[in-house]
């Protein structure tokens, strides 16, 4: 009701009761909407926090996997180096036994590349780089298994090669030392065994070596690697060289005109050690050559 100052006329304004209901209804709707909005916002916030947490966890996993892959790549590199060493060792073996290794090197390198290329090292890493949220556990596990297997094979191969090198080198040393060539280019005039006495032409005597007739001054060579035990003059054998070859073998070279080595010298198979002559008890220019095994004379013809 509205009452003016002069009270001349009193006016009354009537507000209909339904309008209060409308306002109350609007207020109620607004409250419900607000509550719903707050609830929805809260849910959205929770989802956001969960997602953020998941992303952080995935990032951590990815970082760990990145380190693992880097370590595995390092291991792959080490294995690669080990394989290269093996190939090198294999080359040494082939070279030692006088085999050409060019073709087989290519094969080895190809095999090596094949072994490495089946490992998903680079591919896996690129997958990781491109898609940051991939779980690479399976790839890492496969890579680990392959690397361990390859590493074991490599070490076993290396051990085998090292052992082969040792035994082949021993064998080669034996072959270098054992008398195995003729000491001089010449005609054999007398073999090992009983023969007529060349000085009296009567009766027989045992000839402990092989005689080679050759022109005066012809080269006399060591028949195997060894060390000079004696180089000097002997009443019967004249200017003489005795070489110790190891493995129970000694060789002697007699009646020389000149000696080119001295006691203690290391000599190689084929090295010139003296010149043919007729010094000592000799009927003509020739080389008298003997081979002893464990101190006993053996037929030198077995060792040409």
Least distance (Å) between residue 190 CB and Zn ion: 6
Contact 263, 231 (CB under 8 A): yes
Please identify, using beta-carbon distances, which residue of 69 and 275 lies nearer to Zn ion.
Answer: 275
Least distance (Å) between residue 246 CB and Zn ion: 25
H helix or E strand, kind and range, residue 283: none
CA 250 to chain centroid: 39
Round to whole Å and give the CA distance between 75 and 81. 10
Please identify, using beta-carbon distances, which residue of 125 and 208 lies nearer to Zn ion.
Answer: 208
Instruction: Extract the tokens encoding 162.
Output: 């090292």
Least distance (Å) between residue 257 CB and Zn ion: 16
Please identify, using beta-carbon distances, which residue of 269 and 288 lies nearer to Zn ion.
Answer: 288
Query: Binders of Zn ion: how many residues, by CB under 5 A?
Result: 3
State the distance between the two ends of the chain, measured CA to CA, in whole angstroms: 149
Least distance (Å) between residue 227 CB and Zn ion: 24
- Give the list of residues 6+ apart from residue 229 with CB closer than 8 angstroms, or none: 242, 243, 244, 250, 263
Asked if residue 255 binds Zn ion (CB under 5 A), the reply is no
Please identify, using beta-carbon distances, which residue of 137 and 197 lies nearer to Zn ion.
Answer: 197
Binds Zn ion (CB under 5 A): choice among 288, 290, 291, 292: 288
Indicate the residue whose CB is closest to Zn ion. 288
CA 218 to chain centroid: 48
Q: In the 8-state DSSP scheme, what is residue 11?
A: B
Please identify, using beta-carbon distances, which residue of 96 and 213 lies nearer to Zn ion.
Answer: 213
Binding mask 198-237 for Zn ion (x = CB under 5 A): -----------x-x--------------------------
User: Could you tell me where the DSSP H helices lie in the chain?
Assistant: 17-96, 102-117, 121-130, 137-177
Residues lying near Zn ion in the complex (CB under 5 A)? 209, 211, 288
């Amino acid at each position: 009701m509205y009452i003016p100052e002069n009270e001349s006329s009193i006016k009354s304004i009537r507000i209909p009761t339904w309008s209060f209901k409308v306002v109350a209804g609007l207020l109620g709707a607004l409250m419900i909407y607000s509550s719903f909005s707050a609830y929805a916002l809260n849910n959205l916030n929770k989802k956001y926090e969960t997602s953020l947490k998941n992303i952080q966890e995935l990032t951590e996993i990815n970082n760990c996997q990145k380190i693992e892959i880097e370590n595995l790549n390092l291991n792959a590199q080490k294995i690669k180096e080990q394989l290269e060493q093996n190939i090198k060792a294999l080359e040494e073996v082939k070279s030692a036994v006088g085999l050409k290794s060019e073709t087989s090197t290519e094969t080895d390198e190809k095999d090596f590349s094949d072994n490495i290329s089946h490992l998903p090292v680079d591919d896996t890493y690129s997958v990781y780089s491109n898609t940051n949220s991939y779980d690479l556990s399976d790839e890492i596990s496969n890579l680990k298994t392959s690397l361990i297997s390859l590493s074991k094979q490599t070490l076993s191969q290396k051990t085998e090669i090292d052992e082969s090198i040792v035994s082949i080198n021993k064998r080669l040393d034996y072959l270098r030392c054992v008398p195995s060539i003729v000491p001089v280019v010449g005609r054999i005039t007398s073999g090992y065994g009983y023969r007529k006495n060349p000085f009296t032409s009567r009766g027989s005597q045992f000839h402990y070596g092989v005689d080679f007739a050759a022109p005066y001054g012809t080269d006399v060579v060591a028949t195997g690697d060894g060390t000079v035990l004696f180089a000097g003059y002997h009443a019967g054998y004249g200017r003489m060289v005795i070489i110790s070859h190891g493995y129970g073998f000694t060789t002697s070279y007699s009646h020389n005109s000149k000696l080119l080595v001295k006691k203690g010298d290391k000599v190689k198979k084929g090295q010139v050690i003296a010149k043919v002559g007729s010094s000592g008890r000799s009927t003509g220019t020739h080389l008298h050559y003997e081979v002893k095994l464990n101190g006993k004379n053996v037929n030198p013809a077995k060792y040409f």
